[in-house]
Chain A
Amino acid sequence: MSGIAAIGIDAGSTTCKLVAVDPDGAIMSSVLEPTEPRVELQVQRMLDAIRAKQGADSSVPTIATGYGRKLIKEATRNLTEITCHARGVFRDLGRAGTLIDIGGQDSKVIQIGPDGRPIDFMMNDKCAAGTGRFLEYTAARLGVSVPELGARALCTAREEPISSTCTVFAESEIISLIARGAEPDAILRGLHRSLVGRVVSMARSVGVVAPLMLSGGVAKNEAVRKMIAEATVEEVVLPGEPQLMGAYGAALLGIS
């Protein structure tokens, strides 16, 4: 008896996550890898590894979410990230409220109801601004790695306003700012403000109900957290593993 009750897979645009849970919904094992071009092969390899490690077989319910979910042939069911993130965060934090999930390819605002199910949501429109890709793409122009982004943006009081909400045009603005001798950290601070402005505006259109929760890879960025709290005047609460919430929620839905 392996003890694994379900496996959740979140095949995201930037990272691929697997979470295995026990019958009580506690995380037994998790894996996170950068997404490879052949995500279906990658997930199969990750699934085989987690099953071998936990001594599980293919009869364990497996729920897939994320943009690559439809490629996962072994999945018992596919569900959207909206439902899975809501369930994962609700279980982790035990509270209904507003969840902001900023992923690599999209950002979403989800209203979580008292039963942990989404009751409303809003996603970014057909544009990469307001997503992790916006920061990743623009930071690359400044030669800053993703993990250091938040700290660098917070280490200065100066802020260069980035007026464009388009990722490609923002890059042009950065080039102009560098040419004018602007401080890189101040540019980074401006970039964070631009992203947060877009996400908060989306949150307001759904309506912010406290507590304000964050999930997705960008939740690890302290500047984003701080600026969202400033803009919404709400306390920002984070689950233990914000990046795993989609896969965790998928696994929990596999049990139920």
Chain B
Amino acid sequence: MTRLEALPHYVESNRFEHFVNYELLGKTALRVQRWRDQWKIARRRPRPDSALNPPLRSVVHMKEIMSRHYLEGRYAAGVRKVAWVTSGAPTEPLQALGYFLVYPENHAALCGVRRKAQSIAEEAEHAGWSRDICSYARTDIGAMISGKTPAGRLPRPDVLVCCTNICQTVLHWYRVLADYFECPLVLIDTPFLYGEANDHEVAYVKRQIEDMICVAEEIAGKSLDETRFREVMTNARRGAELWLEVLNRSQQRPAPMTAFDGFIHMGPIVDMRGEAVTVAYYERLIAELDERIERGIGAIKEERYRVLWDNLPIWFKIGEFSKWLAERGVNVVASTYTFAWGELAPMIDPTQPLDSMARVYLHPILNRSTGHKLDAMKRMVDEFQLDGVILHSDRSCKPYSLGQIDQRDRLVKTLGVPALLLEADHNDPRDYSDEQGSNRLEAFIEMMEPRA
């Protein structure tokens, strides 16, 4: 039996199933679900016992968009070409070619938020993958070999696109996927940047993107339509610009949303970058945030301290953290992680799609020096008028956590803001201790208390 034959849960659909289950019934059911949610929100009474103000109304639209995306994923294999991609992969040409995109990292985060990640990761561990490997990788490999997923079912990939601008683990992880799925793997190597990208580095990445397009065209059986490609690039730029605006709205006092909201609302810009629905969603979200700002409504009722979050969220804790911190007057108003999907918007140039893509995909925060991240954090402390910084030392994500000890030290010494190194993991609850974590957070909050 081949490895692929050992994955019977990856079944193909036909156009009829795709139409009936997704286009007809699925989309309708999700629309009805959204109406019900909107009706519930309209009837919702204020909760005086909660430290948080009611969640943003737009969240029901985001839930519909994301559910629709994952629902289509169940019936996409056999109907659309499917690409599994890393979160920093240059996906715009794939979208223009009509590929359905699966982001394994986003899927793993979904497992984390639903508190399914540990049991799924254990499937990978039982099959021999070490607990020292990134918990996203373990979650997705576990889901792949067991078929367990809160998304119902993921479509089998026709091609894998792995870009090294986020970490080196993906190199090995995607080789494993290629081995199991017996499909082509396109690797895009992005040299690490200590400053700005040189022309030869841009040319090197551009050539690899061109190669990726050739492979993707061959698999799709069609050529890239330049007009459609530009349209996707225009949407990608607009979506990223709007996402950046969403995040910057939290410079207001009180901030209309928390970074924990941001971790959830970033779903469309990660999974559906380049799609018109993403642009429309963020326009809606900004309108709601502006309405909150105008009425002086913050995400939390009493915003005493404003804090920056560095690194990935602790997905299995975001609800609890959001509530626990709000009860203590702490609003985590900004995060380096959510900014990663917006800060490069000005670099996206639809008139020079390939050159600008090469530049954009070289510059994510994780492909740049630790000094660059420190400067970004310092800027955010100033622009968002922050009282403290929480640096999540993420056991799984070494590239993001590298340098945090120095960064923390310099934030404390140069800016005089309290900064806490919080040890945890983005997806594995076994690497977080509630008692120790909350004790450190409480001491951190006490340090932010106004001086008498």
Contact = CB atoms under 8 A, between A and B. Distances in A.
A114 to B, nearest CB: 11
Interface in A107-154: 115, 117-123, 125-126
8 contacts: A83-B443, A83-B446, A115-B451, A115-B452, A117-B447, A123-B436, A123-B439, A125-B423
Contact of B409 (A81, A83, A106, A205): A205
Nearest to A106: B436
A256 interface: yes
Contact of A119 (B433, B435, B447, B452): B447
Contacts of B443: 80-83, 118, 121
Contact of A67 (B418, B435, B446): B435
A120 B436 contact: no
Contacts of B446: 79-80, 82-83, 118
A67 B439 CA distance: 8
Interface string B401-412: 000010001001
Given A117-B447, A207-B409, A126 B423 contact: yes
A117 B449 CA distance: 10
Given A67-B435, A207-B409, A120 B452 contact: no
Given A80-B446, A82-B446, A115-B451, A123 B409 contact: no
Given A126-B423, A256-B452, A118 B447 contact: yes
Contacts of B423: 125-126
B440 interface: yes
Given A80-B443, A83-B446, A120 B418 contact: yes
A106 B437 CA distance: 13
A67, A81, A83, A206, most chain B CB atoms within 10 A? A83
Nearest to B439: A80
Closest 5 CB pairs of A and B: A82-B443, A80-B443, A83-B446, A80-B442, A120-B412
A115 B452 CA distance: 9
Given A80-B439, A123-B440, A205 B405 contact: yes
Contacts of A106: 436
Contacts of A122: 421
Interface string A196-221: 00000000011100000000000000
B436 to A, nearest CB: 6
A79 B443 CA distance: 8
B416 to A, nearest CB: 8
Nearest to A108: B443
A83 B440 CA distance: 11
Interface string A66-83: 010000000000011111
A180 B443 CA distance: 45
Contacts of B439: 67, 80, 123
Interface string B380-424: 000000000000000000000000010001001100001101010
A120 B435 CA distance: 20
Contacts of B436: 106, 123, 126
A82 B423 CA distance: 18
Nearest to B393: A125
Nearest to B412: A120
B5 to A, nearest CB: 42
Contacts of A67: 435, 439
B405, B409, B423, B447, most chain A CB atoms within 10 A? B447
Nearest to A206: B409
A119 B417 CA distance: 9
Contacts of B447: 82-83, 117-121
B408 to A, nearest CB: 9
Given A80-B446, A207-B409, 15 more contacts: A81-B443, A82-B443, A82-B447, A83-B443, A83-B446, A115-B452, A117-B447, A118-B446, A119-B447, A120-B418, A121-B443, A121-B447, A122-B421, A123-B436, A205-B405
B409, B413, B421, B439, most chain A CB atoms within 10 A? B439
A210 B206 CA distance: 55
Contacts of A256: 452
Contacts of B419: 120
Interface in B30-66: none
B405 A117 contact: no
A75 B309 CA distance: 32
Nearest to B436: A126
Contacts of A119: 412, 418, 447
Nearest to B440: A123
Contacts of A83: 443, 446-447
Contacts of B413: 207
Contacts of B405: 205
Given A117-B447, A118-B447, A256-B452, A126 B442 contact: no
Nearest to B435: A67
